Structure formats: structure tokens, C-alpha cells
Amino acid sequence: MRVSVSIEEVVNAITGCIDRGDISCAVNIFKSLSPPDALDVLVRLGSDYRREILLVSDLDNIADVMARMPDEILFEIASIRGVDDIAKVLSKLHVDDIADVLIKIPPKIRTEVLRALPQELSAEVVKVMKYPPESVGGIMTTQVPVFDEDLTVGEAVNIYVNKMKLGLYDKHNYIYVVNKEKRLAGRIDVRTLLTKPRDLKLRDCVEKVSIHVDPLKDREEAARITISYDLIEVPVVDSNGVFLGIVSLDDLLDVVVSEHTEDLLKYGGFLDVIRSSYMAISPLKLAIRRIPMIVYLYLINLVTGGIIASFEEVIQRVAILAAFMPILADNSGNIGSQASALILRSLVTGEVKLSRSDVAKILVKEFLTTSFMILFLAPVAFGIGLTIPLLTLKDTYVALRVAVTVVIALTVSCYVADLVGALLPIILAKLKIDPAAASAPVITSIADILTVLTYFTVATLMLGI
């Protein structure tokens, strides 16, 4: 809470300075902020105030967070500041961070910035940018110590120390050793290397690397490997065994947060994931992102409405049936969403595989789980289904039939909704579609249709209508 209040006070102070025409005061306040706080302030400032700050302030205190900036703010920086200014700031970042920034700005400016960067750095950035942003190659770090296996420890240490002094390496924990074909021969911890005899060949003191990842794999795969094997960095090796770089732990933490955020949005029903900040995005763009699912749900609800309309005679004969529709529909939707969330989490963490045995275990587990839930829910549903008709219709015979109808509909809808919720993410994963697309609104809509259809079909049979 203190951080939130502090940021709000800073925003008010900066806007107050600008309103008084004291731009230097606003800039001084902004420059005193840490990079994360500076980003928070930029996100919360209105676009006009943000422009005033970006026009005259240097970008040093936001350099470290540029890769995490919303697209809208990066667009503003690209349009307000010249290419030379952007290149100057980016040259201080890691290669993968530079690539993350450049991929978000317009292609024309991107090309000009690459030309303005130092030639060697620009070449490294281009290597990373040739891979899709969502791939391992798109987040890997290439500026790590790599030595030929024929070098001695002493030669490697001398080269390593000199390059470290020049700042040519990104954050790393190991020195990587390759053969003549640039294939990964092994690696050695930096501290361990310094303790080895100086005349020892590198090939004789490295440990073999059994865990590595292909650059074209999804970046989530690298995160899963890191978690599974408790690693601090993962080497990236192509199909020919050629060493390309590493994916560091801090990059993987960003991946985990980013993917978790995307999954939450998809599960919430966003067909097009919002990659920018909620605070920075305009209401119009936010509405555009939310409209497709709302329209979809509207059309789905027409199906539900059509089913209800087809049972109009049943509702007219026993109007009390309509009172239980929202309860049953919400219950089945909740059960389906719970099952989907559990399976989605298990798929993401790799706990559940797309194998027949795992699918069979899921079906059995969910069937039993739903059975236990129904043991608790059925008496409650029967009690409510009996009490309401008794109080309104004063007819015990009809009340009993309505109660039985509610229990049967509840039972069937629970089983169907649970199995649909559990299987939909698996089916989508099998079809190579992001299982997070099995969003809560989608599952709820399917459950609503099946519940209403089941409910009124059972009612028709039970009440003899």
C-alpha cells in the first residue's frame, strides 16, 4: 500500500509541476526515481504529461525497464525521441532485452536503430530477432563466454577476465566449451575454472551437458525444463548440436509471469491477449479487445434462449421450473470452470501429459470427484426443489416431481459440465491450440446449453407434459 500511495503522490507532484509550467521540477522528480518506479509513473501519467517528460528527460533511469514497457509508451518514445537517443539507451542493455524492445516498435524505426547500434552488438541482436518472440531463441542471451576445447585453462581465464573488464558478457554462471564444429562439448562453473591448473586443457575439466533446449521450442518449454531440473540457466543448442546461447533464470521468471498473465486473460475470455499495461491502454482499444467474446457469448445465449423457448409449454404448465434455471446453470458452469482450471494448470506445469493413460486417469478422477460433490449437492438441491414448490403451489405431488427433476438435472449437468471442462483443454492441446483458449465464458456457455436442455427434457418426462 505504501508503494502505491508513494507512486500516486509522485504522479501528482509531476503533474502539478507541469501545470505550473515548471518542467525542470517535473524532470528532476522523474530522474530521481528508480527504474521500476519510473515505469509505474509513466504508465499512470496522462499522455500529454508523459510527452512533456519524455521530450526533455534523458532515458537512463528507464533503460533497464524498457523491455517491459507497454507498447503504447514505446511508440511514444520512438516518435518523440530520435533514433540516436534510442540507440544510445539500448546499447546499455542485454542483447535479448534490446530485441524485446525493437520487436515492439515500428519496422522503419527498428531498422534505423539497428544501423545506429555498434556493428557487433547489432549483429548479435539480429541473431536473436530472427527467432519468433515466443520461442526460446527469442529470449536467449548470446553474449556469454564460449571457448574452444583446445584452449588451456590459463588462456581461457586471461580472455575471460579481459572481456569481463570490457563488459562484453551478459549475466552468466558458466563458461561454455565447444569443439571445432562449434558443438557444445560441456561447461564449467566460473569459480571452479579459476581453481583448475592453468596448463589443463578445457576439454579435460568440463562437465557434459545433458539438459539443453532447441531455439525454436516455445519459451514455456525452457521454463518447464528449468523448474523440473532446478537449473539456473539453460544452454540453447540447435538441431546440429551447435551452441547458440543461454536462457537465464531472470529471463525465465519474466516468461513465467508473462505466460501466466496471458493464460489468465485467455481464461477470462479475451480472444486477443492484451500485451500492454491496463493502466496505459486506451478505453477504445480495451473495448475492441473485449467485444469479440461478448458478441460470441451473446450468440451462444441465443442458442440457450432458443432451447428455453422450445419448452415454452412446459414452463407455462409449471412456471416454478423457471426459478431453478439460474441455479442449475451457474452450478454446472462453476464445476466446468473449476475442472478446466485444474487441468489447464496441470498441462502448463507438465504434470499432465497428452497420453491415453493420463486422459483415462483424468476421466476416472473427475467422474469420482463429481460423484462425491453430488453426494453433498443433491440433498441441498432436493430440499430447495421441494420447499419452493410447496410454498408456492401447495401441491406435494408436483413439488416432489419438481424436486426429483432438479436433482436429476443437477446430477446430469454436473457430470457433463465437469467432463467437458476437463476434456476441452486436452482436446485443444491435441489440436495444437493453446489450451488456455478453453476460457471460463466458453465452458460456462457450453454448460448452460447442456444444463437447460437436460433440465427441461427431464421435466417434460417427470411431469408428464
Q: What is the rounded CA–CA span in Å between residue 1 and residue 312?
A: 54
Look at residue 56 in the predicted model and tell me its pLDDT: 84
CATH superfamily of 283-462: SLC41 divalent cation transporters, integral membrane domain (1.10.357.20)
Look at residue 464 in the predicted model and tell me its pLDDT: 64
Kindly state the DSSP code that residue 208 receives in the 8-state scheme.
P
Q: What is the rounded CA–CA span in Å between residue 176 and residue 189?
A: 9
What are the distances in angstroms from CA 193 to CA 176, 179, 203, 243, 356?
A: 11, 18, 12, 20, 47
Look at residue 4 in the predicted model and tell me its pLDDT: 46
Q: Are strands 233-237 and 243-248 parallel, antiparallel or unpaired?
A: antiparallel
| Closest C-alpha among 374, 382, 342 to residue 361 | 342
Look at residue 210 in the predicted model and tell me its pLDDT: 86
Instruction: Please list the residue range(s) of the chain that carry CATH number 1.10.357.20.
Output: 283-462
Look at residue 148 in the predicted model and tell me its pLDDT: 92
Instruction: Please list the residue range(s) of the chain that carry CATH number 3.10.580.10.
Output: 146-267
In contact, 58 and 81? CB cutoff 8 Å: no
Q: Please give the span between the terminal C-alpha atoms of the chain, in angstroms, as a whole number.
A: 60
Mean pLDDT (10-residue bins), the chain, 465 residues: 62 90 89 87 86 85 83 82 85 83 82 87 85 82 89 92 83 90 91 90 90 87 80 88 86 64 52 52 63 66 70 67 76 81 74 82 89 89 83 78 84 86 82 64 76 80 67
In contact, 385 and 405? CB cutoff 8 Å: yes
How many angstroms from the chain centroid is the CA of residue 365?
27
Strand partners, 237: 243
Predicted structure pTM score: 0.53
C-alpha cell at 264: 489468465
CATH superfamily of 2-129: MgtE N-terminal domain-like (1.25.60.10)
Q: What is the rounded CA–CA span in Å between residue 395 and residue 223?
A: 62
CATH number for the domain whose boundaries are 146-267: 3.10.580.10
Look at residue 438 in the predicted model and tell me its pLDDT: 53
Q: What is the rounded CA–CA span in Å between residue 316 and residue 323?
A: 13
